């Protein structure tokens, strides 16, 4: 039985289910007709399949090109290494080489760390992973809200700054100049929304339910078939407006109750794949330190960025859930990489 290409999403899902049923890695390899080492490697490193390292020919950077890169880094503060090199028409340079070159002439800001998890948080995360180990995640609708401001999130923008240069001072207004609250969901390879929360509306239990009625239910859910509605599982986090008795009872009247409403562990944005979608959208709308002058303009940027996210990207996020569950269990409830 020879080694083949990387495991498919379907094969990974089957491995998770076979493990939950108590099958050994050797038995799973026979059932899937895959090499035993491939199966063991996936179990040990659940979020990454076997990757073959492909050595790419590295091109040399001339002194003239180095000067162009240095000028571009000075003119494009907070840009990515790829954007800097593309502006100089320098192609075929791997990321590791680009960053090594830029380190001699620039610096990059680091992202903030996540708050620590306590013992109770970790136990609840493990219990959640065990409960949903056999779930077909292609039927789960992952939802969340995101706030986007005119000025961009504090401390979020990062990029290369030439040595001896000062970072540009962005325009700063109270509350980031105001912002827009956005709600969206992803299921399998489909994006639901995004929908804009009306300006000035604070989401409490009543306004949250009314918002879902006017957007999610009327514009998307009611168009689905009865069999789809029967099998769909609705996921939301533990925000007060989501987890209140009022909201829970309201969703139950809509048929979303018991096993159709996913329970959610505390402090677990890393387990929700839609958080990765928000990162993709924010990278696009705030690239190169971009700021906005009106709420409508930032909303239009969100809609445009969302349209550019294709079904394969969404499918990659939703199919990552089996690996995330295994990682949570392997890390005993600790944070997983995103």
Distance of CA 7 to the CA centre of its chain: 21
What pLDDT shows up at residue 44? 80
> Residue 317 class from Cβ within 10 Å (0-12 exposed, 13-18 middle, 19+ buried)?
buried
Buried b / exposed e over 138-151, threshold 16 CB at 10 Å, is: bebbbbbbbebbbb
What pLDDT shows up at residue 21? 81
Separation CA 273–CA 170 (nearest Å):
30
- What CATH number was assigned to the domain covering residues 119-154+177-331? 3.30.420.10
Separation CA 246–CA 153 (nearest Å):
32
Separation CA 33–CA 11 (nearest Å):
10
Residue where the block lists tokens 């918002």: 211
HSE, CB side, 13 Å, CA atoms: give it for residue 15.
Answer: 29
DSSP 286: T
DSSP 52: -
Q: Strands, E, within the chain: which ranges? A: 106-108, 140-149, 160-162, 179-187, 190-196, 233-235
What pLDDT shows up at residue 1? 47
Separation CA 129–CA 125 (nearest Å):
6
Token pair of 157 as six digits: 């923008």
pTM for the structure as a whole? 0.67
Separation CA 234–CA 145 (nearest Å):
14
Length of the chain (residues): 338
What pLDDT shows up at residue 311? 94
Q: Strands, E, within 109-261: which ranges? A: 140-149, 160-162, 179-187, 190-196, 233-235
Q: Residue 233: CB partners within 8 Å, gap ≥ 6?
A: 135, 139, 140, 141, 259, 260, 261, 262
Note the maximum CA span of the chain.
Answer: 69
Residue where the block lists tokens 């962005």: 170
For 246-263, give the DSSP string. HHHHHHHHTT--GGGB--
Tell me the pLDDT of the chain (338 aa) as tens digits. Answer: 445 577 888 888 888 888 878 888 888 888 888 888 888 888 887 645 445 555 556 667 899 999 999 999 888 877 889 999 999 999 888 888 888 889 888 877 654 457 789 999 999 999 999 999 999 999 999 999 999 998 876 555 567 777 777 766 666 555 446 789 999 999 999 999 999 999 989 999 999 999 999 999 999 999 999 999 999 999 999 999 999 999 999 999 999 999 999 999 999 999 999 999 999 999 999 887 788 989 999 999 999 999 999 999 999 999 999 999 999 999 999 999 75
Token pair of 118 as six digits: 């306590």
Separation CA 244–CA 331 (nearest Å):
30
């Amino acid at each position: 039985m020879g080694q083949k290409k990387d495991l498919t999403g379907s094969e990974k899902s089957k491995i998770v289910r076979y493990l939950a049923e108590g099958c050994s890695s050797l038995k799973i390899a026979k059932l899937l007709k895959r090499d035993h080492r491939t199966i063991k490697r996936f179990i040990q490193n659940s979020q990454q399949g076997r990757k073959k390292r492909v050595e790419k020919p590295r091109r040399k950077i001339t002194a003239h090109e180095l000067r162009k890169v240095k000028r571009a880094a000075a003119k494009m503060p907070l840009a990515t290494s790829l954007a800097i090199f593309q502006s100089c028409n320098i192609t075929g340079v791997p990321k590791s080489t680009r960053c090594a070159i830029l380190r001699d002439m620039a610096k990059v800001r680091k992202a903030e760390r996540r708050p620590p998890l306590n013992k109770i948080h970790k136990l609840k995360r493990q219990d959640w992973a065990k409960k949903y180990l056999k779930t077909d995640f292609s039927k789960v609708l992952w939802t969340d809200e995101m706030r986007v401001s005119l000025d961009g999130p504090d401390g979020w923008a990062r990029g290369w700054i030439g040595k001896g240069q000062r970072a540009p001072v962005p325009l700063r207004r109270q509350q980031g100049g105001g912002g827009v609250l956005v709600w969206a969901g992803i299921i399998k390879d489909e994006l639901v929304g995004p929908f804009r929360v009306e300006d000035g509306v604070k989401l409490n239990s009543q306004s949250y339910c009314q918002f879902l009625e006017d957007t999610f239910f009327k514009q998307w859910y009611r168009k689905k078939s009865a069999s789809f509605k029967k099998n769909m599982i609705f996921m939301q986090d533990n925000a007060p407006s989501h987890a209140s008795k009022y909201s829970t009872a309201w969703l139950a009247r809509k048929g979303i109750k018991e096993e159709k409403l996913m329970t959610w562990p505390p402090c677990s944005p890393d387990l929700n794949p839609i958080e990765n979608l928000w990162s993709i959208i924010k990278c696009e709308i705030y690239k190169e330190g971009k700021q906005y002058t009106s709420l409508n303009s930032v909303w239009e940027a969100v809609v445009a960025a969302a349209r550019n996210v294709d079904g394969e990207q969404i499918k990659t996020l939703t199919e990552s859930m089996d690996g995330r569950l295994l990682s949570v269990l392997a890390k005993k409830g600790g944070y997983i990489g995103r």
